[in-house]
Amino acid sequence: MNSAEKNSVFSIAGIYGLRMLGLFLILPVFALYAEGLEGVTPTLIGLALGIYGFTMAMLQIPFGWLSDRIGRKPVIAAGLLIFAVGSVVAAMADTIWMVIIGRALQGSGAIAAAMMALLADLTREEVRTKAMATVGITIGMSFTVALIAGPLLSSWIGVDGIFWLTAVLALLSIAVLFKLVPDPEKLSTHRDVEAVPGEFGRILRNGQLLRLDVGIFILHGIIMSLFVALPFVLRDHLSIEAHDHPWVYLPVLLVAVGFMVPLIIMAEKKGKMKQVFLLSIGLIALACLMLALWHDSMISVIAALLLFFIAYNVLEATLPSLISRMAPIDAKGTAMGVYSTSQFFGAFIGGAVGGWCYGQFDVQGIFFSTALFALLWLFVAMGMQMPVMRSSVMAHVESDVDADTLESNILALAGVFEAKVVPEENTVFLRVDKKVYDADALNALLNPASQAAEG
């Protein structure tokens, strides 16, 4: 990436990360805080945790389309402002229903699709995958930081203070958006990151993609349900005060990352993706079952959390990669849009169902139900066909090319297995074997005039 692209990517990743941090910070502390709110019930605690997922799922793709019409920055700024308003509503709330309204407003600032479109506007095709990976890493770091910082901040400024802090961060993000993120020269549709209306039918008929959508739905449903129960387990069953909860999560998360890396290498480099994928789902089920049976034992809870977060980190890293590899090369943005919507709906359902289970069956109800859903996911995933490990490549083409002829010529190149030329977006999408693929040969095919001049 050149300096302008690096500035754009890191600024956008920072905005995205701060926003997700604001959503995640309350996860490890809200259930305990909510006990003091008027009108609280276990079901409403879960609903308050997960309701942001419903509004985000409903609005993220429409906001992305709106940004194609009126511009990226106005939509993103409006979304951040809505998020800030929701944070203020939640901060000032003294009833559980006002917190639910605030969290719903937070989710209504659904800027994910618009942010990815802006990122695509500001980066070249050949570096876009790296740019998106940077944003993905930032989101993962936000979740990890939130589990540690949430309880610490709660002990210093209270949960209402966390909501006020997230409102301030959202407003600062608007300043970063206009001060540090460049204005794109033009707005374009980018099939690699944006949902295209005409492609939904093709994506929703793809059984392999639907298995992954079910997976991310269940994974985020499980984790949202767990955070209805875990604060009570640590406080009431293990006698750990809320301000000490980070010292449970921190070592677990650090060790989990250490185990995650070799598993990812085994999956990606050693061709063991399906085995590692199924193992991780199995570990999720085992961890939930351990929590259901032995949540009064510190050793069992720590062991269960370690297994869970090893598996969770592996799955969070591999699921988007699998979506990218399984999706049609010219509809990856649509596939990711459906995937993200499934993820957010999973958070919503997981929070609501987790709260209901807690009210009816205490924490055991949550842990047994999450174990059951993990086993259901394992059954669904067993029939999944793993894609051949090939790399995605994009390149620039002129809008007046003969798409069919150029596609045929590209497919004749060594190492190219799929090609789709989209002249209206000035882009060619490819899947290649990097060991055989010759980028210079593709460049010669796409730029014959420059090659002739050099000759």
Say if residues 218 and 345 touch (Cβ distance below 8 Å). no
Say if residues 360 and 369 touch (Cβ distance below 8 Å). no
In this prediction, residue 448 carries a pLDDT of 67
DSSP classification of residue 185? S
Identical fold at 200-389 and 391-454? no
Say if residues 325 and 266 touch (Cβ distance below 8 Å). no
Looking at 3.40.50.720, 3.90.1150.10, 1.20.1250.20, 1.10.10.2840, the CATH number of the domain 1-194 comes to: 1.20.1250.20
The amino acid occupying position 52 is Y
The amino acid occupying position 118 is L
Say if residues 201 and 210 touch (Cβ distance below 8 Å). no
Q: What is the CATH number of domain 200-389?
A: 1.20.1250.20
In terms of phi and psi (left: phi > 0; alpha: psi -120 to 50; beta: otherwise), the region of 239 is: left
pLDDT 10s per residue in the chain (455 long)? 788 888 888 999 899 888 888 889 999 999 999 999 999 999 999 999 999 999 999 999 999 999 989 999 999 999 999 999 999 999 999 999 999 999 999 999 989 889 988 988 888 777 777 888 888 888 888 988 999 999 999 999 999 999 999 999 999 999 999 999 988 887 777 788 888 888 899 999 999 999 999 999 999 999 999 999 999 999 999 999 999 999 999 999 999 999 998 998 888 888 889 999 999 999 999 999 999 999 999 999 999 999 999 999 999 989 988 998 888 888 888 999 999 999 999 999 999 999 999 999 999 999 999 999 999 999 999 988 887 777 788 888 887 788 888 888 888 888 888 888 888 877 888 888 878 888 888 888 887 654 433 43
pTM: 0.92
**Per-domain boundaries in the chain:** 1-194, 200-389, 391-454
CATH class label, 391-454: alpha beta
The amino acid occupying position 197 is P
Paired with 419 in beta bridges are 430
